[in-house]
């Protein structure tokens, strides 16, 4: 690392708490699917800020909406109504199962709201929430407790009470874990951080049946799979299973920090004034950006194109798995959240593969210590997908097995 990138990295490391392992690049510009660092090197961004910049970087319509709102009104708190917040909530309810929305600042905060709603809705003696092994629900203390990966909890014990984790895909074990204190089952329809691992549709239907049988709420965490990522606005639409509560974030603001919890009116009624809140959630500037983002995603043909490009990427990844069977065993995912599942030999080199792609100017990551994860902007072209697949093939070809 040298030059401008190194200079900015040192200044940053000298003053920012080191909770991140960063790559040696200081990004200074983004346009579409391309990022540019402080020394002018360009990168094909197939991570999109971890599924956030789904319309690409600095989409002109979103940027204009942000600037226009910033010139008019930036913040008033939630003591007053604002037009962008109302318009965003209307768009979300008109295009989902929900008729009530709570706007937050992030996915973790949206999940915190979902956890609190499930508990207060069930009554004070029913507070247990069952989530799944391998899940990821956020970095706050409650959402870390809900997360089914012990590595995120280590060093922060004791965890808040009431969270348990069922084995992935085993419905009988999960039902045996339900007690009189259980109020909800929480899951991601597709585990992103867990290695791009979809839940089987029959299993999800089983979860829904268990919720009905035991009077539990079904919470879908669509923070990564929502907002068009899977080829429908929300993944639940393709699965035919409607949750009671759903959380979204990441791509909702196409780069601006926002999260949302969606539910039905009768469930939302448990949250009376004063029971929950946020200072910045639904901020006018952020909400205006989200409105512009959502309107573009709802344009005719947009989501169909995501599904077609997702199929194209899936086929390309399957072809690579066939060419390199010692490193990869297959590909999985939905829409434009795809994973190349690595073999044991491949897992040993997962980090090195990501680094080699970074050096070639292609950004991806390694998820769940299982799969290479691809989350390109939904506007990515087939030419750019070919660029990704070519670079990945070159890197896999250079791996020692």
* Structure confidence by residue, pLDDT tens digits, 360-392: 999 999 999 999 999 999 999 999 999 999 999
pLDDT at res. 55: 98
Residue 336: is its pLDDT beyond 70? yes
Query: Is 337 annotated as belonging to a binding site?
Result: no
The answer to whether the annotation marks 293 as part of a ligand binding site is no
267 closest CA partner among 211, 224, 226, 225: 211
* Sign of the torsion formed by the C-alpha atoms of 115, 119, 122 and 125: positive
| Type and span of the H or E element at 338 | strand 337-342
**pLDDT at residue 393 greater than cutoff 60:** yes
| Residue 221 known to bind ligand | yes
pLDDT at res. 394: 98
Cα-Cα-Cα-Cα dihedral sign, residues 374, 137, 295, 98: positive
Q: What is the pLDDT of residue 401?
A: 82
Residue 136 marked ligand-binding: yes
Q: What is the pLDDT of residue 367?
A: 95
pLDDT at 204 > cutoff 80: yes
| Confidence bin at 1 (pLDDT 50/70/90) | low
Residue 295 above 90 pLDDT? yes
> 108 labelled as ligand-binding?
yes
> Is the pLDDT confidence value at 298 over 60?
yes
> Does 381 count as an annotated binding residue?
no
Strand order in the sheet with 337-342: 328-334, 337-342, 371-374, 365-367
Percent residues over pLDDT 70 in the chain: 100
Task: Give the integer Cα–Cα distance in Å for 357 and 245.
Answer: 38
Map residue 29 onto helix, strand or coil: strand
Distance of alpha carbon 29 from alpha carbon 42, whole angstroms: 9
Residue 278 annotated as binding site: yes
Report the percentage of the chain scoring pLDDT > 90.
Answer: 99
| Domain residue extents for the chain | 4-58+301-398, 73-298
pLDDT confidence of residue 400: 83
For residue 279, give the nearest of 80, 90, 143 by alpha carbon. 80
Q: Which two tokens stand for residue 271?
A: 């949250």
Q: What is the pLDDT of residue 317?
A: 98
| Average pLDDT across the chain, whole number | 97
Residue 191 burial (C-beta neighbours within 10 Å; 0-12, 13-18, 19+): buried
Q: What is the pLDDT of residues 158-197, one digit of tens each?
A: 999 999 999 999 999 999 999 999 999 999 999 999 999 9
Contact 321, 330 (CB under 8 A): yes
The average pLDDT across 321-325 equals 98
- Mean pLDDT, range 285-289, rounded to an integer: 98
The pLDDT of residue 43: 98
Considering the segment(s) 73-298 as one domain, its CATH architecture is 3-Layer(aba) Sandwich (3.40)
Q: What is the CATH number of domain 4-58+301-398?
A: 3.90.1150.10
- pLDDT tens string 58-85: 999 999 999 999 999 999 999 999 999 9
Residue 124's pLDDT band, with cuts at 50, 70 and 90, is confident
Q: Summarize pLDDT for 242-255 with one digit per residue, the tens.
A: 999 999 999 999 99
143 is in an annotated binding site: no
Q: What per-residue confidence (pLDDT) applies to 3?
A: 85
For residue 192, give Cα distances in angstroms to 114, 170, 188, 209: 19, 19, 8, 24
154 is in an annotated binding site: no
Q: What are phi and psi of 182, to 5 degrees?
A: -75, 135
pLDDT of the residue at 2: 57
Which pair of tokens denotes residue 175? 């039902």
- Say whether 238 counts as a known binding-site residue: no
Helix (H, G, I), strand (E, B) or coil at 347: helix
CB atoms within 10 A of CB 361: 17
| Beta pairing partners, 141 | none
Interatomic CA distance for residues 153 and 23, integer angstroms: 25
């Amino acid at each position: 690392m040298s030059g401008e990138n190194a200079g900015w990295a040192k200044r940053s490391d000298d003053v920012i708490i080191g909770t991140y392992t960063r790559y040696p690049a200081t990004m200074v510009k983004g346009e579409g699917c391309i990022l540019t660092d402080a020394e002018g090197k360009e990168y094909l961004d197939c991570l999109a800020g971890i599924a956030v910049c789904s319309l690409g970087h600095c989409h002109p319509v979103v940027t204009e909406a942000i600037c226009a709102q910033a010139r008019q009104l930036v913040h008033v708190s939630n003591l007053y109504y604002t037009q962008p917040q109302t318009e965003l909530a209307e768009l979300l309810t008109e295009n989902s199962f929900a008729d009530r929305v709570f706007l937050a600042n992030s996915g973790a905060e949206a999940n915190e709201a979902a956890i609190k709603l499930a508990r207060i809705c069930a009554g004070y003696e029913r507070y247990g929430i069952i989530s799944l092994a391998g899940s990821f629900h956020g970095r706050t203390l409650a959402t870390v407790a809900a997360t089914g990966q012990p590595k995120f909890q280590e060093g922060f014990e004791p965890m808040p009470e009431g969270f348990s984790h069922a084995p992935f895909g085993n419905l009988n074990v999960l039902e045996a874990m339900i007690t009189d204190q259980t109020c909800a089952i929480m899951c991601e329809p597709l585990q992103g951080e867990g290695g791009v691992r979809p839940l089987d549709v029959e299993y999800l239907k089983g979860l829904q049946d268990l919720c009905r049988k035991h009077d539990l709420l079904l919470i879908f965490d669509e923070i990564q799979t929502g907002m068009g990522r899977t080829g429908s606005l929300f993944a639940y639409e393709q699965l035919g299973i409607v949750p009671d509560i759903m959380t979204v974030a990441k791509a909702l603001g196409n780069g601006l920090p926002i999260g949302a919890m969606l539910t039905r009116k009768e469930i939302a009624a448990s949250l009376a004034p004063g029971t929950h809140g946020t200072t910045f959630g639904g901020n006018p500037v952020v909400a205006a950006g989200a409105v512009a983002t959502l309107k573009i995603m709802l344009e005719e043909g947009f989501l169909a194109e995501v599904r077609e490009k997702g199929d194209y990427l899936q086929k390309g990844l399957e072809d690579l798995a066939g060419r390199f069977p010692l490193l990869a065993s297959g590909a999985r995912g939905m829409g434009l959240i795809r994973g190349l599942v690595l073999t044991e030999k491949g897992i040993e080199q997962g980090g090195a593969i990501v680094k080699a792609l970074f050096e070639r100017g292609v950004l991806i990551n390694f998820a769940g210590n299982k799969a290479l994860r691809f989350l390109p902007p939904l506007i990515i072209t087939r030419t750019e997908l070919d660029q990704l697949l070519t670079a990945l093939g070159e890197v896999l070809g250079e791996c020692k097995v």
